Amino acid sequence: MVTATFRFYDQLGAFLPRERRGREFSTPCAREATAKHMIEALGVPHTEVDLVLVNGESQGFEHALSEGDRVAVYPSFGQLDIHALQRLRSQIPGRPRFVADAHLGGLARLLRMAGYDTLYDNGYHDDEIERIAREEARVLLSRDRELLKRRSVEHGCYLHALDPAQQLRELFARLRLGGAMRPFSLCLHCNLPLRQVEKAEVLDRLPPRVAETHTEFTTCDHCGRVYWKGSHHARMCALLADVELPPSPDSQP
């Protein structure tokens, strides 16, 4: 048994009991325990950690802890450039795609609205979500720490907020998604690309009042739904413009 001292920075504190937040604390570690093992044993999923310093040196997750080590654990840095230090995982390749767990239907819908490919089904069980994330290189979205601690989960994101719009804001800030939005390009139900159509092609699927007052339409070739820029569209545009802004201090956990 060895004893090491830990400090978790910024929003990582939300995973700890109150008395361990924002300060150093010492804890016994099993012999040969790795940094990752202890970080997760203390309550923080590995997906939430971007950088570990042991005695001031950048180290990997598999670093074995020794007596008296001082371990500083940092979350995703967002804009800050830490390329000189050892990142703990590869960058997300290309445009991020997501798989959301069964409790995040509202967030999944908002991500689709912003044009981010997001798989979601409220019948998914944990093994299935883990498999999809691994096989399709998707970012796993969850409020279940144990799911995010699974070894095969490379890219994941714990959502601190309960409200879907706040969750979207968290995710946009963490992964810098704002600049690559493609609003209203995906079907909200099927997660598939929408196609522009002439009014004549969809006239029989439109409420008469919508047919009279709108000229631009898109449709999903999978489910046949038709989309137009109604009052709902305006509200959603306002929401998407708003989430591009950085989180306000009182929306932090």
Residues that bind Zn ion (CB under 5 A): 187, 189-190, 220, 222-223
Nearer to Zn ion, 44 or 188 (CB): 188
Nearer to Zn ion, 142 or 219 (CB): 219
Side-chain half-sphere exposure of 192, counting CA atoms within 13 A: 10
CB of 206 to Zn ion, least distance (A): 16
Nearer to Zn ion, 42 or 220 (CB): 220
CB of 3 to Zn ion, least distance (A): 56
CB of 185 to Zn ion, least distance (A): 12
Please give, one letter per residue, the 3-state secondary structure of the chain. Answer: CEEEEEEECHHHHHHCCHHHCCCCEEEEECCCCEHHHHHHHCCCCHHHEEEEEECCEEECCCCECCCCCEEEEEECCCCCCCCCCCCCCCCCCCCCCEEECCCCHHHHHHHHHCCCCEECCCCCCHHHHHHHHHHCCCEEEECCHHHHCCCCCCCEEECCCCCHHHHHHHHHHHHCCHHHCCCCCECCCCCCECEEECHHHHHHHCCHHHHHHCCCEEECCCCCCEECCCHHHHHHHHHHHHHCCCCCHHHCC
C-alpha span between 249 and 87 (Å, rounded): 27
CB of 112 to Zn ion, least distance (A): 10
Nearer to Zn ion, 158 or 228 (CB): 228
CB of 224 to Zn ion, least distance (A): 7
CB of 190 to Zn ion, least distance (A): 3
Nearer to Zn ion, 112 or 149 (CB): 112
250 Cβ neighbours under 8 A, 6+ residues apart: none
CB of 199 to Zn ion, least distance (A): 19
